[in-house]
Homo-oligomer: A and B are copies of this chain.
């Protein structure tokens, strides 16, 4: 077992294969942007990071690929800002703290917060997940 498997292109390629995703150059770069930083990024931010040095990837591919990763459950989507979606390389159960002024999203350490009493799901529906978002703002603003 590697110490930091997602800091190398090799480790990322392995991760992609594990999720039944063909590890192409563009997909590796996009996954690397997310998994090496372990941050919540918007599609636009991913685009910026991947193409920072040299153009690697078109806008269409960034969106296609993020949606592919989500379908394959390799990343998670976090909807919290009306203007854009965040993509989260951490798919384990955890919740979020959202700075509504700065527009930044950080994880809430698991255990700091918990849900008690799963609500009764109406007939014909099944639960897919529970999202908790703590909205915060700078004290002065």
Write the residues of chain A forming the contact surface with B, with a CB cutoff of 8 angstroms: 77, 79-82, 85, 97, 99-100, 108-109, 111-122, 124-139
Partner of A112, one of B85, B120, B128, B133: B120
How many Å lie between the Cα of A125 and that of B99 in the bound state? 8
Stoichiometry, as copies per complex, reads 2
Residues of B close to A100: CB separation below 8 A: 128
> Which secondary structure dominates chain A's binding surface?
strand
Question: Cα distance A134–B117 when bound, in Å?
Answer: 12
B132 and A115 contacting across the interface, CB-CB below 8 Å: yes
Taking a contact as CB atoms under 8 Å apart, the answer to whether B116 and A127 are in contact is: no
Alpha-carbon distance between A85 and B136 when the two chains are bound, in angstroms: 19
User: Bound state CA distance, A133 and B119, in angstroms?
Assistant: 11
Question: 29 A–B contact pairs at CB < 8 A?
Answer: A77-B82, A79-B80, A79-B81, A97-B119, A97-B121, A111-B117, A112-B120, A113-B116, A113-B118, A114-B117, A115-B132, A119-B134, A121-B134, A124-B138, A124-B139, A125-B137, A125-B139, A126-B136, A126-B137, A126-B138, A127-B136, A128-B135, A128-B137, A129-B134, A130-B133, A130-B134, A131-B131, A131-B133, A131-B135
